[in-house]
Amino acid sequence: MNIRAPTDNARSRAGDWMWGGSGASHSVLSSTRNQKSGEIMQQSHAGPDRVRNLHTLGPHGTNLETASHEWLRRRGVEGTVHLHSSIESALEAVPADGQHALTACAVYPALHTLVFGNLHRLQMVDSFIMPTHNMVLASAGTPAPATVASHPAPRGLVPDTAEVHEVLSNSQAAIDCAAGKVEGCITTIVAAERHGLRVLRDFGPVPMVFTVHQVLSADAEAGEPLAAGAVAL
């Protein structure tokens, strides 16, 4: 079957259909011209090359901490990784000078809220795939823990017979288990070994997408963020 390329008239009609007619197209261009200008100015201050500080989830031993160091290593950058109790709290403590960014991951709870609720100051500038540390079910000695601490993301690894105690990170789960607050935890092999826990089951590493979000100032020079539903051309 031969497929002919569309004529100029056909392309024109298709363009009119996509934009609701030529008049609608001009309207969109006019209404978004200033927004586009501001967006371009904001993007001129953005970019991963400026980032020297990564802020992410702690305490020590989280997959996000390791991913942050790996991102700096891959880019050949000498930088610093700062650990926080949550990524949300990190955002509130980070200077908006373009040299700081948050490291998150694709399965981080409410990542969509973090992104879309902060379009005026957060810009995703990079993403990469890296395996996590081995994820494990561990305990301080109990072979079948009845209570298990877990971050919401790997909660699916908790045995069906156990009661889940949600915590803010995999490392915090190991800390709580070692402190006797729970009988077991879902954590990383690194955190389990750090806190002297017994590994009951090793789920292995998990290929994971990690994301880097640069923090920028939403000042007048950068322009206002695009309104919901606006089209950037």
**Are 98 and 212 in the same domain?**
yes
Above 80 in pLDDT, residue 29?
Answer: no
Kindly report the pTM of this predicted structure: 0.73
**Are 168 and 197 in the same domain?**
yes
**Are 120 and 52 in the same domain?**
yes
Q: Is residue 2 in some structural domain?
A: no
Annotate 68-101 with b (16+ C-beta within 10 A) or e (fewer). Answer: beebbeeeeeebebbbbebbbebbeebebebebb
**Are 34 and 148 in the same domain?**
no
Contact 142, 183 (CB under 8 A): yes
Structural domain boundaries enclosing 126: 48-131+208-216
Q: How do residues 174-233 score in pLDDT, each as one tens digit?
A: 999 999 999 999 999 999 999 999 999 999 999 999 999 999 986 533 444 433 333 333
Q: How many CA atoms lie within 13 A of 108 on its CB side?
A: 24
Q: What confidence score (pLDDT) does residue 12 get?
A: 44
Q: Is residue 233 in some structural domain?
A: no
Q: How many domains would you assign to the chain? A: 3
The CA-CA-CA angle for residues 92, 98, 101, to 5°, reads 55
CATH code for the domain in which residue 54 is found: 3.40.190.10
Contact 215, 46 (CB under 8 A): no
Q: Is residue 6 in some structural domain?
A: no
Q: How do residues 178-193 score in pLDDT, each as one tens digit?
A: 999 999 999 999 999 9
Other Cβ atoms closer than 10 A to 29: 13
**Are 117 and 106 in the same domain?**
yes
